[in-house]
Amino acid sequence: MLGFGSELTNMDSRPVVLGSRATKGRPAAGYGGLFWRGPRSFTGSAQVVVPGGIGGDELMGEEGPWMAMRGRHDGSDRGSTLVFADARADPRLPTRWSVRVNPYACLGTAPFFDTEYTSEPGDTVRLRYQVAVANGLLDPGECEALAGKAFPEVDEEEGQP
């Protein structure tokens, strides 16, 4: 399990607009957060795992508490799965995901996928994620269990684990 966190504080006296390439007019280009690019062997053959199902490129921009990618590796034909989980550290931002299997395999967080967020002076945006790296091709239930281990309890007042 790998943990990542960031805080973006507007130190300017003016509002700052946070967005993505998609908010600037490029369809399905909502990436802009923690990003993983998969190995060549995942390109075209990896599967995207979400709560309740498995898919591919059509899941670009999907909302959900977690998303995973699974695939096989060259040479050994062994499989692995990466599960990204969001702590919902900033409840103002939806949990959106940027994912592709083609033309290359990648998975990333997309807090500003298709909606700009205006950060007022002094405002802080908090983002926290965990990534589990697992042996084998995990099914949706197994991925959900790992995501639950990433952030087992959330403090209701703080909105953070």
pLDDT tens-digit series, residues 95-106 = 899 999 999 999
Q: Could you count the other beta carbons within 10 Å of the beta carbon of residue 12?
A: 11
Contacts for 145-150: CB closer than 8 Å, 24+ residues apart: 146/83, 146/85, 147/65, 147/66, 147/83, 147/85, 149/1, 150/1, 150/66, 150/83, 150/85, 150/87
What is the spatial distance between Cα 68 and Cα 137, in angstroms, rounded to a whole number?
A: 10
pLDDT-based confidence at 154, cuts 50/70/90? very low
Q: What is the pLDDT of residues 106-117, one digit of tens each?
A: 999 999 888 899
pLDDT in tens, 1-59: 999 999 999 999 999 999 888 888 888 777 778 999 999 999 999 999 999 899 999 99
Residue type, 160: Q
Q: Which two tokens stand for residue 55?
A: 């898919």
Query: What's the pTM?
Result: 0.88
